Amino acid sequence: RQAVTLLCRGNHKACEVCCERWMKNQPATCPCCRQELAEPHYNRDTSFDSLIQLLPVRCPQHPCEWQGKLADLTRHQTQECSQGEATVCPDCHQPIPRSALDAHRAQCPSALQACPVPGCDAQVARCRLEDHLATTSDLPHMARLQHTTKAALDACRADLERTRAESAAALQRVQGEMDALREQSSFPTATRRPADGERTIPSRDALTRQIQALLARGKG
């Protein structure tokens, strides 16, 4: 159902899944003219999909005798067919029994797979993942380096922000302690009520007045 144009002299049209099956266990050749194909073997041809949808098909659920266009097969199987619980794989669009859908999708050659190469966000059909990985290995080294460097910079930035917050909190705490000590050292002793049993230390002004009084008494 997913049409491709083979890169041969005749530019033959074919099904992508069928092409992958054809080339899996033999050299890459066009299944129509047998010409050897270089990488890439074919290009996706979405303009041909509409013609494929007009192909005549039969319901694969025996003994259902429905016949119609390929475009109508999904609706028939999911809404009309009475010969079993059938559905259609959303990846390859093939009719599949509902009970086997999960197992089929786990191996479906058309199911999209995320490229495991760091820095590559491509979603590739399972049947083409191996070829994609072969080309991805030749990606510029800077693309991968950029991905790794960005992650390292983000981690460093987070550490700096955390250190800045901790330093600001520590500075504020020390500033508060210094302000408290400054207030205690400048507070006059005369205005402070000592606790029980606590010896009071006169302030400098009080000591100065006491010394002056003693000197005046001595002169007298």
DSSP string, 36-89: B-PSS-EEE-GGGHHHHTTSEEE-SSTT---EEEHHHHHHIIIII--SS-EEE-
Tell me what pLDDT residue 83 has: 63
Assign 95 to helix, strand or coil. strand
Q: For residue range 109-145, list pLDDT tens digits in order.
A: 888 888 887 777 888 888 888 887 777 655 555 455 5
Structure tokens at 9: 């002299």
Q: 30 — alpha (psi -120 to 50), left (phi > 0) or beta?
A: beta
Q: How many helices (H) does the chain have, and how many strands (E)?
A: 7, 9
- The span from the CA of 93 to the CA of 106, in Å, is 14
Tell me what pLDDT residue 185 has: 62
Q: Which amino acid is at 136?
A: T
Q: For residue range 141-161, list pLDDT tens digits in order.
A: 545 555 566 777 788 888 888
The answer to whether 71 touches 55, Cβ cutoff 8 Å, is: no
The answer to whether 11 touches 5, Cβ cutoff 8 Å, is: yes
* Residue 127 burial (CB count, 10 A): 20
Tell me what pLDDT residue 190 has: 46
- The span from the CA of 151 to the CA of 66, in Å, is 57
Tell me what pLDDT residue 189 has: 46
Half-sphere exposure of 1 (CA within 13 A, CB side): 19
- The span from the CA of 38 to the CA of 135, in Å, is 13
pLDDT tens track of the chain, all 220 residues?
678 888 999 999 888 888 888 888 788 899 889 898 888 888 888 888 788 888 898 887 777 888 999 888 888 877 777 665 667 788 888 877 767 778 888 889 888 888 887 777 888 888 888 887 777 655 555 455 555 667 777 888 888 888 888 888 878 887 777 777 777 665 454 445 555 555 555 566 776 777 777 666 665 5
140 cis-preceded (ω within 30 degrees of 0)? no
